[in-house]
């Protein structure tokens, strides 16, 4: 099976140096290669779950663990 048939990302390519790039085609048909910046544009500092705000993934995991213990 091809990467596309497997549902893998076929748009992002990696060059010899390991940089991620995409090829963008303009309306006129001209192709431009764009290197993707690996730095984050935004960061989600909290996880929202069923109306409850968790300050960190660790807090969420602790709450899930406690809920599982209470259910047993």
pLDDT digits (tens, 9 = 90+) for 3-15: 788 887 778 888 8
Give the range of the structural domain holding residue 23, as residue numbers without chain letter. 1-39
The sign of the CA dihedral 30, 31, 35, 36 is: positive
Question: Per DSSP, what are the bridge partners of residue 53?
Answer: 48
- 17 and 31 both lie in a single domain: yes
Assess whether 1 and 35 both reside in one domain: yes
Q: State whether 3 and 26 are in the same domain.
A: yes
Residues 34 and 45 placed together within one structural domain of the fold: no
Domain count, the chain: 2
Contacts of 6 (CB under 8 A, 6+ apart): none
Q: Strand, coil or helix: what is 47? A: strand
Alpha helix (H) ranges present in 1-72?
57-71
Do residue 24 and residue 45 come from a single domain?
Answer: no
pLDDT digits (tens, 9 = 90+) for 13-72: 888 888 899 999 889 999 999 998 888 888 777 666 566 666 788 888 888 888 888 876
Cα(50)–Cα(3) distance, rounded to whole angstroms? 36
Does the pTM surpass 0.75? The reply is no
Same domain, 47 and 33: no
């Amino acid at each position: 099976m091809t990467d596309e048939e497997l549902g893998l990302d076929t748009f992002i390519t990696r060059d010899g140096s390991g940089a991620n790039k995409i090829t963008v085609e303009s309306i006129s048909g001209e192709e431009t290669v764009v290197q993707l910046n690996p730095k984050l544009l935004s960061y989600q500092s909290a996880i929202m779950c069923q109306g409850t705000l968790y300050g960190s993934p660790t807090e969420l995991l602790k709450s899930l663990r406690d809920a599982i213990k209470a259910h047993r």
